[in-house]
Structure 1
Amino acid sequence: MYRSASTGVIGKRLPIEIISKNIPQLVEGLTPDGILSAAEAILTTDTHPKVVWKKETIGDKEITVCGIAKGAGMIMPNMATMLSFILTDAAIEAETLEKVFKEGIRCSFNSISIDGETSTNDMAMVLANGKAKNPTITGRSQDLELFRNLLVDVLVKLSSMIVKDGEGATKFVEISVVNSKEYHNAAKVAFSVANSNLVKTAFFGEDCNWGRIISAIGASGVDIEPEKINISFEDIMVVKNGVGTGIEQEERASKVLQREEFKVVIDLNSGSSNARVFTTDLSPEYVTINANYRT
């Protein structure tokens, strides 16, 4: 059994005959350390391979979860122009594995955006062979939470690596929306901010232009109460109850924007649900890369 996966120029057909002809050779070439070669083989505009592995003891057996991924542009849920393959030697029933995998995807690959662009080509796959010989994990196992945390940790790290390697990116930004009425609303607000070109260019320019963030929140379509909104860059609050906190706070926040990584916290003060999205700035290099993609 084999599965095909691809990204690349939309509409360009894969050379299936060549691929099929070489499958036996690929099978013969399988090695324990082949994961590193696979991680490099799937790259396109990525600048480096993305590999993560973690170990945990379940019962008296050590299990491993290892993952590889590719992606650097056209990244926004549902996943988009990215591939990820997760492998584990854990013994776990298929239904339970599928459930925890989908849960993990929601807070990882479906919670990132580099440029707000979706694609026709994306997938994430998880495979388990049971070689660890641990007691089989089911939906009722006490060890399920250990496995879930291990899997989610790998997925989140891989998705973060994709964003950090974003085409032309100079900033890695976490947009955290807290105290929303519902998770769905929090996620819509987070993505609206993360995908705003004006917000992203302000990040690139290290400009604490919180007005653009307020505008993106309003454009999300979520029913909000502006007079309740607080906005902070890390722990520097620049908006309190919908009103700016002054030039001194903005100057302090601008220093936060000079970092390669930082967090923007948007407090809607309307509930108890939270959502997080990883994103980037938008630089001239992104335009250059995509203007010359096929030339």
Structure 2
Amino acid sequence: MENALYTYDPIIDRKPIHWPGDARVAFYVGLNVEHFLFGRPSTSLNGATSALVPDPLNHGWRDYGTRVGFWRVMECLDRHGVRASVLLNSSVCDHYPQIIQAGTARDWAWVAHGRTNSVLPSGMSEDEERAELAAMVATIEKATGRRPQGWMGPALNETPRTPALLAELGLSYVLDWTCDDQPFRLNVPGMLSVPYTVEVNDLGLFTTYGMAGPDFLQLVKDQFDQLYADSATSGRVMALALHPFVIGQAFRAKYLDQALAYIAGHPGVWLTTSDDIAAHYANTMT
């Protein structure tokens, strides 16, 4: 009750959600496609070298994602008919245009994800944040031909003003608040929260918890099975958060392939995007 952004609303008290085609689970892949500044400490595999310039160990690990891992993950998504919801640093548009071309050809959803994951949007004034968000959205719209509808902050970072400023720009949902298995309305007119995950997320599972591929596969299956059971009376959302420099490593890729095959092989699963989840909820739930 202390959070002014949204109201406490336990899942047992809500109207049932009905997904298209009477699906039980709306499943999407949140594919983090990010740009990291050279010489700036960022997401690291080994903190011992993260402050060095250059830092070949960590920068090279991150760079593997855009050079190799992304393309391996893309082929896997294609095999199972999954359109990615790309959590896109706007700097990717300038540095890796081939990625934008590939995603546009596949009608992927583009979710604004800051300018770069080397900088968090904290410490700005309201006018500075408004201008920064507007520039990011404009860059993505120009590169993809589509204005982003959703937002996830770098490291899921927001200021107290961010949702309202995004609404001014015409965006309709955020992924930062990972507190639910269903979308819900924020106390900002026109803005939704759509479920994302920091738990079923390759970055934490493999680098923080040290999971192996078979463990990842079992965890994804367990998450899906429980949500599928929960959805008997009201639809649920399952997000799978991926980073090409993590899951795109050669020795992990087959476990993603098996996980997607398991989910896509079930009846009553809507393989979709975060954009389409938000739009369906907004149009059907009053």
TM-score tier (shorter): under 0.3
Q: Which has the larger strand fraction?
A: 1
Higher relative contact order (CA 8 A, sep 6+): 2
